[in-house]
Copies of this chain bind each other. A is one copy, B any other.
Amino acid sequence: MTSASTHAPVETSSIAAAEERLRAAGMRVSAARRRVLEVLLGSAEPLRADQIAEALGEHGDISSVYRNLERFEELGIVRHVHLGHAPGLYALNTGSRLEYLVCERCNRVQAVEPAALDAAREAVRTGLGFEARFDHFPLAGLCRECAAA
């Protein structure tokens, strides 16, 4: 693997691959960066920047966290989502990127495989020539329960 491409998703759950990508980009592998990656890897769900900073302990500085998340994102190591009005949520960029539905009434978040929204995507593409994505900004509306009311 000598690829110099920087935007292919990280196909691994290991930190080592991310570190290699950092070095390949001429960036340094610091303890703070390793810890951020560990925290993200250890979480089942996307996290807020302040949650990550807190998880880093006493030395968790939120501005450094934001800075590193931004750099990780430029390298394709990390992705973030905006669910409703809430602050951004960050996660490792694994191969399987989920898409999200958010209920505007109960605020419940539903994560689905992209295939679940392919029909809708196709409808938008054929109707408006627009390629819909629900992995950064979610699809908003009313969940089944709230729509009933």
Contacts and interface: CB of A to CB of B under 8 A. Distances in A.
A66 interface: no
Interface string A80-117: 00101100000000000000011110000010100011
B130 A139 contact: yes
Given A84-B137, A137-B84, A132 B120 contact: yes
B116 A127 contact: yes
Contact of A142 (B84, B133, B138, B143): B133
Contacts of A122: 123
A120 B128 CA distance: 11
A101 B120 contact: no
Nearest to A82: B85
A134 B128 CA distance: 14
B127 A119 contact: yes
Given A120-B127, A141-B131, A136 B104 contact: yes
Given A120-B120, A123-B123, A140 B129 contact: no
Interface of A: 82, 84-85, 101-104, 110, 112, 116-117, 119-124, 127-134, 136-144, 147
Minimum-distance CB pairs A-B, first 8: A137-B140, A129-B144, A119-B123, A132-B141, A131-B147, A120-B123, A131-B142, A133-B141
